[in-house]
């Protein structure tokens, strides 16, 4: 029986599925203290037990994105808040190579908030 979190990824169509699966591995390998959890019906990633980021697909653009829980505290041109109070998202185009340097930069900025 598949876990809900695995079904989330496997039930997506390509190229969104491949993009999300890559991001899942990337985030989990980014730092040894990052763990995966199924919260609010979506895959969340926790740093030392605290919610750090999540993966989702944008309702309007249908593009996958990384949601940064404490995004409001980070200034980066590719992070957008839309109608969220606390979180910001970085939308990704699954048809293009992922901007790994930018993702790494944003993840670093977000982790810095938890290390202080």
pLDDT digits (tens, 9 = 90+) for 54-78: 999 999 999 999 999 999 999 999 9
Q: Are 34 and 47 in contact (CB under 8 A)?
A: yes
Would you place residue 116 in the very low, low, confident or very high pLDDT band (cuts 50, 70, 90)?
A: confident
Would you place residue 16 in the very low, low, confident or very high pLDDT band (cuts 50, 70, 90)?
A: very high
| Omega cis (within 30) before 15 | yes
CA angle at residue 83 from 80 to 88, to 5 degrees? 30
Q: What is the pLDDT of residues 29-47, one digit of tens each?
A: 999 999 999 999 999 999 9
Can you read off the two tokens belonging to residue 81? 């808040």
Domains annotated on the chain, with CATH? 4-115 (3.90.1150.200)
Q: Are 21 and 10 in contact (CB under 8 A)?
A: no
Residue 89, pLDDT score? 97
């Amino acid at each position: 029986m598949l876990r809900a979190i695995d079904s989330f990824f496997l039930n997506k169509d390509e190229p969104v599925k491949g993009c999300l699966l890559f991001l899942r591995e990337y985030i989990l390998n980014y730092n040894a203290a990052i763990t995966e959890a199924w919260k609010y019906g979506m895959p969340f990633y926790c740093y030392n037990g605290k919610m750090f980021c999540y993966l989702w697909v944008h309702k309007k653009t249908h593009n996958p994105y990384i949601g940064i829980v404490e995004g409001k505290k980070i200034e980066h041109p590719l992070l957008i808040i839309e109608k969220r109070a606390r979180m910001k998202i970085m939308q990704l185009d699954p048809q293009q190579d992922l901007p790994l340097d930018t993702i790494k930069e944003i993840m670093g900025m977000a982790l810095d908030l938890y290390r202080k």
